[in-house]
Amino acid sequence: MSRIKILRQEVANRIAAGEVVERPASVLKELVDNAVDAGATRIAVTVEGAGVSLIQVADNGCGMDADDALQCLEQHATSKISEFEDLEKLLTCGFRGEAIPSIASVSRFTIITRPHDALEGSKVVVDGGTVREVSGCGCPPGTTMSVRQLFYNVPARRKFLRSPETEEGHIVEQLHLLALSRQDIHFTLSLDGRQALNLPPGDDLRQRAAELYGRDTVKDMLPVAWSEEGIAVSGLISRPGVHRSTRKEQRNFVNRRPVDSLVLSGALRDAYDTLVPKGRFPPALIFVSLAPERVDFNVHPAKREIRFREAPAVQRVVLAALQQALRGIAGAAILQPPSFLLPQSADSARPKLSFAPVSPPAQLAQPATLAQPATLAQPAKAAEIGPISQIRPIFPQPANQPQASPAPVLAPKTPTTPATPTTPSHGLSRLRLLGPVRDRYVAAVGEGGLVLISLQAARERILFERLLNSAKMRQVTQQPLLIPITLEVPSADSALLKRAGETLASLGFDISPFGGNTWLLAAVPACYPQENLLAIFRNLVDDLRDNPDSSSRRGVLDQPLAAAAARAAARAHQPLDDASLRLLLQELDRCELPYAAPDGRPVLVHLSDSELARRFGR
Amino acid sequence: MKFVIEQSVFSQGLGRVQGVVSSRPAIPVVGHFLVVAQGQHVVITATDMEQSITIRLPARVEVEGQGTIPAKKLTQIVRSLPNNDITVSFDDAQKCSIACGKSRSRLQGLAAESFPLERGELAGRDLTFRSGQFRRMLDKISYACAASDERAVLNGLLLSILDGTFTAAATDGRRLALMETAVDGGAGLDGETILPSKAVSELCKMLPEDGEVRMILGAARAIFSTGECTLRTKLLEGAYPNFRLVVPSGFTRQIMIPRQELEQAISRVAIILESNNPSIKFQIESGLVNVVSADNADDCCETVSASYEGDPTTIAFNPNYLLEALKRLECNAITLRFNDKVSPTGIFGDEGFLYVIMPMRS
């Protein structure tokens, strides 16, 4: 007898369940995905006992007849694709036909379903993968799937479940993701009989995010809207200065599917480089949509992992989108947070800016940034799941703009690294200066309230951008010193200088050994402060010692060293008279990203009128 | 003590000494003037413990004596009074009353004995200059002092005498400005003195166009006196960089350019420069120099006729460094002497003047 056998279906299902059904939250995801694919506009989720006792997902989607209800319990049975090529053009959440049989094999599973045009519904009861009952029943149109006693027949799995609180947390987070990805669907969640979420449908991301994470969190977030090379990016990202200790609040979606993608988190990291401190993560909701054939979801059964066909292009476009959002209106949003009106359209979602340029940056005004790739809006192959073809674009369309044309719409191509010399004003130069505060800060008044500026951080940012800009544009002009400065350093620091020397030279510094541990500073970049160079030189050596990263070329090009040089100079004494402070504001205003020092610490603190009023109890 | 003084005399006199008074005095009495009425004069002294200025003003003294008056308040009050006689008197409680016409102010003074007055003679090298000449000397170079450098001596101005040549020099490590003139007096005068820059600016205010200034340069202190004013100052200690090493021993090329035209050309082309690229270029050709600036997409060029014989060449400078020197000179034309575009360049103009600057490299 052959020793190699084909496994029984039940065994195969349980093995598959190991991958698909990791924990109750993954059951929820699979069931909700099915409901979404069925074209539901309302999905009610009921969870009891942290998902171990019951997970029930009731939708008003297309429903199934009795045959389909039985058929869907078979391995690899799906309505979503039929040919291999269909995988290339996926528009549905699911496609593998694995989830239902897997879940059914490790739980007591019930399907109650009725197509809209049928008079009677059907009920299928499955216990651990064995069909116990198939009967007719009365029920509303749509499908209700109930999963009871999850893992009752897999004790090992059950043992590995975390505490009920943890599992419930996962369920809620999972539903958050699903709700964010489909704002057009009405979601409700009931936890142990208590209604935990009720999310009416809408087309505005800000509104849904506010319902999930609170208005205060969301109101200061910046809208992202960008499209290039057929890749549309939208979402909400936190303003500079807001950051968390983990990546948990960075949620990425590709074609409305919550995903973990190094490509996207990498773009996010690069966009916030120098805007948040090292090891901190800005909260963000990023939605990427692109033609289905350009991305592969079929990497892992849980579909959290994805592969982009052109990962570098995606990363570049997403980075450009985020940079644009941060650069264009970030600062104005800091200085004047938008009043939180639940906006109806993308136009009103844009923060009301008091001292930002009256017209938003040109790219943002382009409706094309919101355009969907046509293929998503017109799913041809998905016709069998009727309602899906009516799915509206995920992204809010400005009310006054024509709908995206059927042909693939590409936004006007913009340079991905817009190192334009003329950056728009951030409104900082229009602040009314009050004066220095304790020689370390500057107080100023804007239309929206009081602004406090850290002198050190502001100078760091200004110098940092100056140094990098002139290095980037290959316009490094050096001012040699008439009397070079000598500095004797400990031998350990000598090694640091040796390592940093080449990069410092590319920035315009001329630092050379002068015998023993003495170093000679013979020239500095023209854009660098010229006063107090001995103190600055000493600060620079201290900085290299205190931040070993500076010379390890972690960052892009010469960034870390430019940051070190900027820090060194910013620490040296500088005048605080009105004229110099006003100049400082003007220079800060010219910066591309004037909101954080290169190490991510904030430059500005804004006390809005409303906050002042609140504090004074007015 | 009681004296009567003309408002304009009093106001001008206070204006010349009050610059010394610190806005945040270390001890209260340093924020006061010491006023001594004696014979036909009142003598007013202001100090910040480092420098002190004494001025002697003609007045009708009715009761001799001395007292202190809060400096800033007195200066402002006197400045605002009408041009009439002002009567200043002290009562026993050191309260000073300033009366002029119908106006009367009373300011609380402090014990005159507590005022840190530097008295006595100073031993040192003794020289006399024409006051106006010395002031112009300082004025043409003092901007080149460093403002707050860690190398404290650079924050001062050097007065050096060597072999009958008196040199005043200032450098912040990036450029050097010096003025030279001949002095009589032999080897006994040789030596170096570093004046703090605050003393230099007070000197410039104090020195009149006419008359002479006598200076006594001691080891740690110096005294400058004109007829009515005396400045006493502490000196900066330390070794001043050997500025003579910075001046190249010779130059191979030279160009002579009208000073005012050049100054105007530089200030015009520098308008477009942003602070991250403060550099202008001299494109030197036979008979002319093009002063050129470029910043991102903007550029400016202005041609100034000049006398130059030699190969065309280009040399870049920080316009601010040039302007600071040019606008203080008096000559009609300056001479730029240089060897190449990377080594120190000299600017010559007024008699005895030399400015050394490093060209920029790009």
In this predicted model, what pLDDT tens digit does every residue of A84-136 receive, in sequence order?
676 666 667 666 677 888 888 888 999 999 998 888 889 999 988 888 888 88
| Nearest partner of B180 among B196, B192, B168, judged by Cα | B168
CB contact under 8 A, B362 and A475: yes
* A245-274 pLDDT per residue, tens: 888 888 899 888 888 888 888 888 888 877
Range picked from A13-27, A579-593, B251-265, B285-299 for highest mean pLDDT: B251-265
Q: What is the mean pLDDT of residues A490-510?
A: 82
- What pLDDT is attached to residue A305? 82
CB contact under 8 A, A479 and B241: no
Burial profile A511-520: b = 16 or more Cβ within 10 angstroms, e = fewer: beeeeebebb
Examine the domain organization and report whether A348 and A475 are in the same domain: no
Joined together, the tokens standing for residue A426 give 């951030």
Coil, helix or strand at residue A67:
helix
d(CA B245, nearest CA chain A) in Å = 10
3-state helix, strand, coil in chain A (%, to 5): 40, 20, 40
- What pLDDT is attached to residue B140? 92
Check pLDDT > 80 for residue A341.
no
CB contact under 8 A, A531 and B149: yes
Distance CA A106, CA A148 (A): 10
Examine the domain organization and report whether A146 and A236 are in the same domain: no
Examine the domain organization and report whether A436 and A578 are in the same domain: yes
Burial label for A86, CB within 10 Å (0-12, 13-18, 19+), is: middle
Give domain status of residue A565, yes or no: yes
d(CA B354, nearest CA chain A) in Å = 14
Structural domain containing residue A533: 428-607
Strand partners, A121: A137
DSSP track, A345-363: SHHHHSPP-SSS-SSPPHH
CB contact under 8 A, B277 and A470: yes
- Given a contact cutoff of 8 angstroms between Cβ atoms, the answer to whether A236 and A224 are in contact is yes
Coil, helix or strand at residue B3:
strand
Q: Sorting pLDDT into bands at 50, 70 and 90, what band is A558? A: low
d(CA B170, nearest CA chain A) in Å = 12
Tell which wins on pLDDT, B146 or A401: B146
Handedness of CA A587, A591, A595, A598 (dihedral sign): negative
CB of A471 less than 8 A from some CB of B: no
Examine the domain organization and report whether A163 and A257 are in the same domain: no
- What pLDDT is attached to residue A537? 84
- What pLDDT is attached to residue A101? 85
CB of B172 less than 8 A from some CB of A: yes
Check pLDDT > 90 for residue A467.
no
- Give the N- to C-terminal CA distance of chain A in Å, as an integer: 88
Tell which wins on pLDDT, A594 or B60: B60
Distance CA A158, CA B239 (A): 82
- What pLDDT is attached to residue A88? 66
Examine the domain organization and report whether A272 and A330 are in the same domain: yes
- What pLDDT is attached to residue B319? 92
Q: Is the pTM of this model over 0.90?
A: no
Coil, helix or strand at residue A454:
strand
Q: What is the mean pLDDT of residues A577-606?
A: 82
With beta carbons under 8 A apart, name residues in chain A contacting B274. 590
The fold of the B247-357 domain, in CATH, is DNA Polymerase III; Chain A, domain 2 (3.10.150)
Give domain status of residue A617, yes or no: no
Nearest CA in chain B to A467: B276
Q: How far is CA A427 from the centre of its chain?
A: 26
Distance CA B155, CA B107 (A): 37
Give domain status of residue A391, yes or no: no
Give domain status of residue A95, yes or no: yes
CB of B191 less than 8 A from some CB of A: no
CB of B296 less than 8 A from some CB of A: yes
Examine the domain organization and report whether A31 and A157 are in the same domain: yes
- Of residues A466, A478, A587, nearest to B361 (C-beta): A478
d(CA B237, nearest CA chain A) in Å = 18
Distance CA A204, CA A340 (A): 13
Give domain status of residue A416, yes or no: no
CA distances from B185 to A338, B159, B165, B169, B221 (A): 77, 15, 10, 20, 21
Q: Sorting pLDDT into bands at 50, 70 and 90, what band is A418? A: very low
Tell which wins on pLDDT, A551 or A225: A225
- CATH number of residue A16's parent domain: 3.30.565.10
Examine the domain organization and report whether A448 and A562 are in the same domain: yes
What is the location of CATH 3.10.150.10 in chain B? 2-114, 125-245, 247-357
Examine the domain organization and report whether A481 and A370 are in the same domain: no
List Cβ neighbours of A472 (8 Å cut-off, separation of 6 or more). A419
Q: What is the rounded average pLDDT for all residues in chain A?
A: 76
* A366-380 pLDDT per residue, tens: 443 333 443 343 433
pLDDT (tens, 9 = 90+) of chain B, 362 residues, equals: 899 999 999 999 998 898 889 888 888 888 999 999 999 999 999 998 889 999 999 999 999 999 999 999 999 999 999 998 999 999 888 899 999 988 999 999 998 888 888 777 788 888 889 999 999 999 999 999 988 788 888 999 999 998 888 999 999 888 999 999 988 877 778 889 999 989 999 999 888 888 999 999 988 899 999 988 999 999 999 889 888 888 888 899 999 999 999 999 999 999 888 766 788 999 999 989 999 988 777 889 999 999 998 889 999 999 999 999 999 999 999 999 999 888 899 999 888 999 999 999 87
Give domain status of residue A376, yes or no: yes
Check pLDDT > 90 for residue A295.
no
CB of A579 less than 8 A from some CB of B: no
CB of B362 less than 8 A from some CB of A: yes
CB of A587 less than 8 A from some CB of B: yes
CB contact under 8 A, A476 and B357: no
- Of residues A482, A485, A587, nearest to B246 (C-beta): A482
| Nearest partner of A543 among A576, A504, A508, A596, judged by Cα | A504
CB contact under 8 A, B277 and A526: yes
CB contact under 8 A, B360 and A532: no
Distance CA A294, CA A569 (A): 47
Examine the domain organization and report whether A179 and A223 are in the same domain: no
Write the ipTM: 0.81
Distance CA B149, CA B163 (A): 30
Strand blocks (E) in A84-179: 108-114, 121-127, 130-137, 142-148
d(CA A472, nearest CA chain B) in Å = 13
| Nearest partner of A297 among A96, A484, A151, judged by Cα | A96
- Of residues A470, A479, A534, nearest to B276 (C-beta): A470
- Given a contact cutoff of 8 angstroms between Cβ atoms, the answer to whether A103 and A117 are in contact is no
- What pLDDT is attached to residue A527? 81
CB contact under 8 A, B278 and A535: no
Examine the domain organization and report whether A357 and A474 are in the same domain: no
CB of B174 less than 8 A from some CB of A: yes
- CATH number of residue A458's parent domain: 3.30.1370.100
Last residue of a domain, which of A199, A232, A262? A199
- What pLDDT is attached to residue B255? 93
The radius of gyration of chain B's CA atoms, rounded to the nearest angstrom, is 25
CB contact under 8 A, A534 and B149: yes
Domain count, chain A: 3
CB of B177 less than 8 A from some CB of A: no
CB contact under 8 A, A475 and B277: yes
CB contact under 8 A, B296 and A480: no
Q: Looking at chain B, how many residues does it have? A: 362
CB contact under 8 A, A526 and B318: yes
Examine the domain organization and report whether A325 and A443 are in the same domain: no
d(CA B150, nearest CA chain A) in Å = 6
Last residue of a domain, which of A166, A183, A199? A199
Check pLDDT > 60 for residue A357.
no
Check pLDDT > 60 for residue A150.
yes
Last residue of a domain, which of A365, A382, A399? A382
List Cβ neighbours of B32 (8 Å cut-off, separation of 6 or more). B68, B69, B70, B71, B109, B110, B115
- CATH number of residue A286's parent domain: 3.30.230.10
Examine the domain organization and report whether A498 and A540 are in the same domain: yes
Burial label for A23, CB within 10 Å (0-12, 13-18, 19+), is: buried
Strand blocks (E) in A268-383: 284-289, 295-296, 307-308
The fold of the B2-114 domain, in CATH, is DNA Polymerase III; Chain A, domain 2 (3.10.150)
Mutation site, A477, A510, A541, A577, interface B, largest B CB count within 10 A: A477
CB of A532 less than 8 A from some CB of B: yes
- What pLDDT is attached to residue A542? 82
Mutation site, B276, B296, B322, interface A, largest A CB count within 10 A: B276
With beta carbons under 8 A apart, name residues in chain A contacting B296. 421-422
| Nearest partner of A21 among A129, A179, A131, judged by Cα | A129
Burial label for B20, CB within 10 Å (0-12, 13-18, 19+), is: buried
Superfamily of domain B125-245: DNA Polymerase III, subunit A, domain 2 (3.10.150.10)
Coil, helix or strand at residue B18:
helix
